[in-house]
Amino acid sequence: MSEKKGKHIAIYGKGGIGKSTTTSNISAALAEAGYRVIQVGCDPKSDSTTILRGGNDLPTVLDTLREQSKVRIEDISAVGFGGVLCIEAGGPVPGVGCAGRGINAAVELLQDLKLFEEYKPDFVLYDVLGDVVCGGFAVPIRDGIADRAFVVTSSDFMAIFAANNLFKAINKYAPSGGARLGGVIANSVLLPYATSLIQDFAAKTGTGVIGNVPRSMTVAQSELYGQTVIEAAPKSDQAQVYRDLANFIDKNEDTVIPKPLNGPELKKWAREWGDRIFEVDAGVVHEMAAI
């Protein structure tokens, strides 16, 4: 294994939750702050780094491995906004193979190619699909690849469920050298209760929310231009949100081992929140509440 250089950070989250957008904007903000950054997309969809690269094509590591016996860094990487080195692990042909093992093979290849020794990054961000936390998808938080993990979640129950699953994986692997949790990133926060719900989940699991990313037209617009918010709207409030997140990740290295909720606990917690939201919506006033 080549020597590990820089801070290696894994960002997990349920598919479609805005994990790649968040990760790319954090990468862009770190690059803007003058750091050398590598972003590795660990999702068979291989679209993690699209908005860093202006939407251009980038061959994935696994596709390249399938076609060439010798692979060079130049074949599988592209330099994106702010000099961020973009890499997509990719996956097998849909319907065959093992995507988790693919991630493993891709990361091993990057180590064999001495990428981290030669590029000397300050940060390496692994953007990992969090719906499936089987052995393969847990690779970035096992075996000492990433030092810290962050989870992106919205207030949707399935996103919280995926985050709780990731906590289970971290809880399992951290004692034997796996990554610990840096915190929760609340994404697509729109409705008033969302922030409280995510904060409550974080508190219940012994973790903390490191930032709230509001749902924003600026993000959607920037993505349509094939850019990060940092690039497309650098002076926007949304860009500052991502800069704050990047700054937190840079300056704050505190980590915890989360305490995931078990099945019944999670259901009970969700039901309580369901009731609370219903009451807010219906304008229920509890006894003595007005006094």
Partner 1 sequence: MSILKAKAPRSREKRLDTMNAWQGSATAVAAELAGEATVQRIRTFSQSSQDDLLYALQLLAGIRNSVTVVHAPRGCAAAGLYFQAREPSGRLIVTNLDERDTIMGADLKLRRAVTALHHRYHPEVVFIVSSPVVAINNDDIQSVVEELHEELELAIVPVYVTGFASRNAVTGYDATLHALLKYLGGPRKAREANNRVNLLAVAEHRPDLSEAVRLLSALGVELNVLPDGAGAGTFRDATSACFSIPLDQDTEDYLGVSLRDEYEVPYIEAPRPVGLGATGRWLAAVGAALGLEEKARFLHEQESIAARVELAGFSLQGVRVYLGLATATAFGVLELVQEFGGEVVGITVSHLDQLHRRRLEELSVRHPDLQIHVADGQPFEEVSILKRLTPDLYLGDSAHLGQLGRLGGAVVSLEDAPILGYRGLVSLAGRISLALRNPSFGAALARTSPPYHDAWYRRSPNWHIKQEVK
Helix/strand/coil (H/E/C) assignment for every residue in 127-174: EEECCCCCCCCCHHHCCCCCCEEEEEECCCHHHHHHHHHHHHHHHHHH
Q: Give the number of other CB atoms < 10 A from CB of residue 282.
A: 8
Nearest CA to 162 out of 142, 141, 183, 133 is that of 133
147 is catalytic: no
19 is catalytic: yes
Residue 118 interacts with partner 1 (CB under 8 A): yes or no = no
Nearest CA to 160 out of 207, 212, 202 is that of 202
Of 33, 47, 92, 172, the one binding partner 1 (CB under 8 A) is: 172
Residue 98 interacts with partner 1 (CB under 8 A): yes or no = yes
Provide, rounded to whole angstroms, the least separation between the CB of residue 42 and partner 1.
14
114 is catalytic: no
Touching partner 1, residues 125-164 (CB under 8 A): 134-136, 138-139, 142-143
Residue 237 interacts with partner 1 (CB under 8 A): yes or no = no
Query: Which listed residue (4, 45, 168, 204) is catalytic?
Result: 45
Q: How far apart are CA 268 and CA 121, in angstroms?
A: 44
Of 100, 121, 140, 260, the one binding partner 1 (CB under 8 A) is: 100
Radius of gyration of the chain from its Cα atoms, rounded to whole angstroms = 19
131 is catalytic: yes
Nearest CA to 170 out of 157, 183, 185 is that of 183
Touching partner 1, residues 50-79 (CB under 8 A): 67-70
Q: Which residues bind partner 1 (CB under 8 A)?
A: 1, 3-4, 67-70, 98, 100-101, 104, 112, 134-136, 138-139, 142-143, 172-173, 175-177
Catalytic residues: 14, 19, 45, 131
